[in-house]
């Protein structure tokens, strides 16, 4: 086993990895840019090495500096987390060339699944169902293929992810401008302007299967995550089990994902993403050859520490269990807490956190990388934390998440906490009736400032009481403990009563 590992990332995922390293008795090395000198992951690690200026292109994306930091500190392995260099095949190869273990799949596996067009072809040959589509070398080529596929179609960047270089087209006249915009966006984001077409699946769920393999040929799946609650093709809320899928369907999807992983000799953690259509058919979307942002909910229901297993696999050990030993229990939900303003199209809201109080209690987990007084930088993704909950049933998990959101206090920046609170109370979400277009269809009730749900317009005083209680909670978190002298109620009690009246 390794004695020291460098974490080539920042924020909450770096903190998450460092925690497991500490439990395993493995030394941790953090890397940081100029603006991250006082970041939480730097404070948590045993050692820390500066790697450059604030822009990621000058620090976290510079492979040579990260490998040099590993050499200088004597780190035997590098865990890339997610994002940055986590799915960069040349970086994985550079680690190997330097005699440093890359905690992830082989470079060949990353390369094979890195291009969406190449991955589609490879998975199709392996018997994995794919969305009908076509590669396009020119606009005229795209026009012909779109006509054959039939509108609506989806234009996608071949090297893309996170919704960049992606356009949904309903009519032929939309193609020309979308072609230029998608290629330009793809080139800027990925350095590759190759795009392709897929037949658009209307009102699908976005369901992914977590896989894990070792270097001895063993591959298992750890069930599914429903990631359909998205804005601009970016996931916001994830849950497991998927409310719209039977156990038999998930078992079939799991078998297909394992087959796909074996086709590229995959080891380490990875995720197969599928579109699940309303008729129960599912289609391969892409494979993420890394740890997913939403991995905590899989850990909740299986009891598996995915980071620990990735480290064990990278050290050459076999998986801790076989497929029939992987057991699912209960339900889990994750909300991504961002420094952003949902009422302004989820515009980032960087700045200094004046006060932070995270929720706790039974079945609550907050994977964060910030603290009171730290700054959410404009240079990186504005993720504050990932709030996840576990409960025996989905109904109880939704209730627990609402309770946890009510305890979450952040001041100094705008966040999407109110959005999440509204979502958890929406009757269609509570019933599990949603797809990837849910936020767009319900934006008036989920995103607009000052919106009061039908049936509650008669009680504006309740909203005022709730706002006042939250302000008092912020006072508690910053050390200014106060109670209402007239009523004798603590802010916790006032908040609970206001929430009860709203429910």
By annotation, the residues acting in catalysis are 290
Q: Across the beta sheet with 331-338, what order do the strands follow?
A: 282-288, 268-276, 205-213, 219-231, 234-240, 331-338, 383-391, 364-368
Beta strands in 268-404 (DSSP E): 268-276, 282-288, 331-338, 340-341, 347-348, 351-352, 355-357, 364-368, 375-376, 383-391
Q: Which of these, 309, 471, 300, 482, lies nearest to 401 by C-alpha position?
A: 300
Cα radius of gyration rounded to whole Å, the chain: 23
In angstroms, how far is CA 188 from the centroid of its own chain?
22
| Interatomic CA distance for residues 242 and 229, integer angstroms | 12
- Dig out the tokens for 410 from the structure: 């952040």
| Interatomic CA distance for residues 62 and 71, integer angstroms | 15
| Phi, psi for residue 390 in degrees, rounded to 5 | -130, 145
- Judged on CB neighbours under 10 Å (0-12, 13-18, 19+), 486 is exposed
User: Are 340 and 351 contacting, i.e. CB atoms less than 8 angstroms apart?
Assistant: no
Q: Which of these, 292, 305, 220, lies nearest to 24 by C-alpha position?
A: 305
| Interatomic CA distance for residues 339 and 353, integer angstroms | 10
In angstroms, how far is CA 226 from the centroid of its own chain?
11
Q: Which of these, 171, 178, 176, lies nearest to 155 by C-alpha position?
A: 178
User: Are 476 and 457 contacting, i.e. CB atoms less than 8 angstroms apart?
Assistant: no
| Interatomic CA distance for residues 295 and 317, integer angstroms | 21
First vs last C-alpha separation in the chain = 52
CB atoms within 10 A of CB 96: 13
């Amino acid at each position: 086993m390794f004695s020291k590992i460098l974490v080539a990332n920042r924020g909450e995922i770096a903190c998450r990895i460092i925690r497991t390293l500490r439990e395993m008795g493995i030394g941790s090395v953090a890397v940081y840019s100029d603006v991250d000198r006082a970041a939480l992951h730097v404070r948590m690690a045993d050692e820390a090495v500066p790697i450059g200026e604030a822009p990621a292109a000058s620090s976290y994306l510079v492979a040579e500096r990260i490998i040099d930091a590993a050499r200088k500190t004597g780190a035997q392995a590098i865990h890339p987390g997610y994002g940055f260099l986590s799915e960069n095949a040349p970086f994985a190869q550079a680690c190997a060339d330097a005699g440093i273990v890359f905690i992830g799949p082989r470079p060949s596996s990353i390369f094979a699944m890195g291009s969406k067009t190449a991955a589609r072809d490879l998975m199709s040959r392996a018997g994995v169902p794919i969305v009908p589509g076509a590669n396009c070398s020119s606009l005229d080529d795209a026009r012909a293929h779109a006509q054959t596929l039939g509108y609506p179609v989806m234009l996608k960047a071949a090297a893309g992810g996170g919704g960049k270089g992606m356009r949904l087209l309903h009519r032929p006249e939309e193609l020309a401008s979308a072609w230029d915009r998608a290629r330009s966006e793809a080139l800027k984001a990925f350095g590759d302007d190759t795009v392709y077409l897929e037949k658009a699946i209307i009102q699908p769920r976005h369901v992914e299967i977590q896989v894990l393999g070792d270097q001895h040929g063993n591959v298992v799946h750890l069930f599914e995550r429903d990631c359909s609650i998205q804005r601009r093709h970016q996931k916001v809320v994830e849950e497991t089990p998927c409310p719209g899928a039977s156990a038999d369907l998930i078992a079939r999807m799991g078998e297909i994902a394992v087959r796909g992983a074996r086709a590229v000799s995959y080891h380490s953690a990875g995720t197969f993403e599928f579109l699940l259509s309303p008729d129960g058919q599912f289609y391969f979307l892409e494979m993420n050859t890394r740890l997913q942002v939403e991995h905590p909910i899989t850990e909740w229901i299986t009891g598996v520490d995915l980071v620990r297993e990735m480290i064990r696999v990278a050290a050459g050990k076999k998986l801790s269990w076989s497929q029939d030993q992987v057991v699912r229990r209960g339900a889990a939900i994750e909300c991504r807490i961002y420094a952003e303003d949902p009422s302004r199209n989820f515009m980032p809201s960087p700045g200094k956190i004046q006060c932070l109080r995270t929720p706790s209690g039974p079945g609550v987990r907050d994977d964060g990388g910030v603290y009171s007084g730290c700054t959410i930088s404009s240079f990186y993704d504005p993720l504050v934390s990932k709030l996840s909950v576990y409960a025996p049933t989905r109904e109880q998990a939704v209730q627990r998440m609402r309770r946890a959101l009510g305890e979450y206090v952040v001041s100094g920046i705008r966040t999407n906490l109110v959005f999440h609170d509204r979502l958890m109370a929406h009757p269609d979400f509570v019933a599990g009736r949603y797809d990837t277009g849910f936020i767009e269809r319900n934006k008036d009730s989920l995103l607009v400032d000052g919106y009061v749900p039908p049936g509650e317009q008669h009680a504006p005083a309740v909203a005022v009481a709730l706002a006042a209680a939250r302000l008092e909670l912020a006072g508690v978190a910053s050390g200014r403990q106060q109670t209402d002298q007239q009523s004798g109620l603590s802010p916790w009690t006032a908040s609970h009563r206001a929430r009860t009246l709203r429910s």
